Structure 1
């Protein structure tokens, strides 16, 4: 006989619930500059590492390639991200920020910092650092 599942024992439920809560904080701040948290993380990755092939970007974001391409469409449409063919292979596209994308990222980074500060003020800066370390260890 199976015993009923208790949500307070479910790692997946706890992580998803916490992720939704934290995402709401970041979405509130980033929404003021017209970005979602997911869009900000894409811009942040491209700001640090321009000319990324989609597969490398998808791996870094831990996203399926098709899901990432859907997320990239509004960023490309709004002129924040550009895809250019790689010199060595015309079928490979390299993604980078445009000048407008760099300006948006700089503006969004201020909103991100406010969200980061709000979360760390509520959760504790030291605890947040430990939490990040533990969470990143899951995907390493």
Structure 2
């Protein structure tokens, strides 16, 4: 054993008890699952989430959308530009601050979300059924509440 190596029992403790590691692993697995689901539509799960957030009445600035989706500003800008190039959203100047931009869903974006939503509903139903057989909570509000308490 190298002098800088952690004791095996510490490695196992972190592997088995670390909430951050467990959340990261679960998030990656869920992301891959929904990426596969949306692949025939040319969407990732992140793009789906962004487009859905823009499909209602809310008209956020890019920064507000980034905050909602827990993304940094640079990643949000790159993601929005990718969707803009595909014609799924349009970046418009904010009326009160021309430096700020607001992403607006295009008709093509609305059509794509309309195609993706039934896929999401079906997959989400399967996921709920699978999780209901375990001790895992299927209520996203429970996770959101936990995360808000952690800061």
Interval containing the TM-score (normalised by the shorter chain): 0.7 to 0.9
The answer for unaligned runs of 5 or more in structure 2 is 1-5
Tell me the matched-pair count: 137
Partner residue of 1:89? 97
Structure label with greater radius of gyration: 2
| Contact kept in structure 2, 1:43 and 1:97, CA below 8 Å | yes
Which residue of 2 is the match for residue 128 of structure 1?
A: 138
CA-based RMSD? 1.9
Q: How far apart, CA to CA, are the structure 1 residues paired with 2:126 and 2:104?
A: 30
Structure 1, unpaired ranges of 5+: none
Are the equivalent residues in 1 in contact too, given 2:91–2:103 (CA < 8 A)? yes
Higher helix fraction: Structure 1 or Structure 2? Answer: 1
After TM superposition, the score normalised by the length of structure 2 is: 0.82
2:55 counterpart SS class: helix
Q: Report the alpha carbon displacement of residue 50 of structure 1 after superposing the two structures with TM.
A: 4.4
TM-aligned CA distance change 1:23 to 1:48, over 3 Å: same
Q: How do residues 1-140 of structure 1 correspond to structure 2 at under 5 angstroms?
A: 4-5=10-11, 6=13, 7-124=15-132, 127-129=137-139, 132-137=140-145, 138-139=147-148
TM-score (structure 1 length as normaliser): 0.88
Q: 1:139 to 1:75 in 2, by over 3 A?
A: farther
Structure 1 moving runs of 4+ over 3 Å: none
Query: Quick one: higher RCO (CA 8 Å, sep 6+), 1 or 2?
Result: 1
**Structure 1 position 39, deviation (Å):** 0.3
Specify whether residues 101 and 85 from structure 1 end up closer, same or farther in structure 2 by C-alpha distance, changes over 3 A only: same
